[in-house]
Amino acid sequence: MGKEETEQESLKNEKEEDRKDIFSEKEDVYEEMDEVFEEKERELEEKVEASLFISAKFLNLQELIMLTDINPIMLKEILKRLERKYSRGAIKIINKNNSWKMDVAEKYHFLINRLATGNSEFTKAEQETLAIIAYKQPVKQSVIIKIRGNKAYDHVKKFRDLGLVEAKRVGHTLELQLSEDFYEYFHVTQKDGKMEVEEEEENIKEEEN
């Protein structure tokens, strides 16, 4: 192979390497753009989630737009995603006449009623935190904090001080579960892994007699 052919081959290889570098750079740019877009979507979703979490009432589309500054089309899509995200579990996103609210699932309302009429005073936020612990137990404290926010640290401390929740160290966090005192305090029994209200059962029996 002559000198001229060698130079041409070398130039060809250089061009091929350049093309590979350009293609690789483009891929990196696309990946970076995807990551930025996904991060932006997460931020917007968290903004809507926080708005629903903080509000104690139903929020319509216009109110959510004012709170989040998100355009209506994207906001509706985020709300659908959040409804799917919370479709199972102790917390639900309730859509009523195109107004949305984050609330404890209906099947756990009896726990809230018990908490509200207990001997100790509990805020609505504390009631909801305890309902989630009851639903998910045993559950890591870090999971509860992720769902309920940092204020749940104070809730958990209060429940532990009252003897309603037991905690044991698991790694860098605590594992939480209801104590026997909880069931006695709220007159709740466990049957096949489910909680039942004792007084309600007694009332049914009295009505049958």
The pLDDT tens digits for 49-64 are 888 887 768 899 999 9
Phi, psi of 188 (to 5 degrees): -115, 140
* Beta-strand runs (E) in 26-171: 59-60, 91-96, 99-104, 139-140, 165-170
Phi, psi of 174 (to 5 degrees): -110, 145
Same-domain status, 112 and 139: yes
* Confidence (pLDDT) at 103: 81
Q: Do 77 and 47 meet the contact criterion of CB atoms below 8 Å apart?
A: no
- With a cut of 80, say whether residue 169 has pLDDT above it: yes
Q: Which of 104, 128, 151 is the last residue of a domain?
A: 104
Contacts of 142 (CB under 8 A, 6+ apart): 172, 173
Say if strands 165-170 and 139-140 run parallel, antiparallel, or are unpaired.
unpaired
The tally of domains found in the chain comes to 2
The enclosing domain of 167 has a CATH number of 1.10.10.10
Average pLDDT, the chain: 76
Give the count of beta carbons closer than 10 Å to the beta carbon of residue 129.
Answer: 28
Confidence bin at 182 (pLDDT 50/70/90): confident
| Alpha carbons 193 and 87: distance in angstroms, whole number | 21
Question: Domain range for residue 136?
Answer: 107-208
The residue among 56 and 18 whose pLDDT is bigger is 56
* Confidence (pLDDT) at 205: 39
Q: What is the mean pLDDT of residues 55-77?
A: 89
User: One-letter amino acid identity for 77?
Assistant: E
Q: Which of 72, 104, 136 is the last residue of a domain?
A: 104
- With a cut of 80, say whether residue 13 has pLDDT above it: no
Same-domain status, 21 and 54: yes
Say if strands 59-60 and 99-104 run parallel, antiparallel, or are unpaired.
antiparallel
* Beta-strand runs (E) in the chain: 59-60, 91-96, 99-104, 139-140, 165-170, 173-178, 188-191, 194-197
The residue among 61 and 89 whose pLDDT is bigger is 61
The encoded tokens of residue 40 equal 């932006």
pTM across the whole model: 0.44
Q: Which of 71, 104, 137 is the last residue of a domain?
A: 104
Same-domain status, 118 and 198: yes
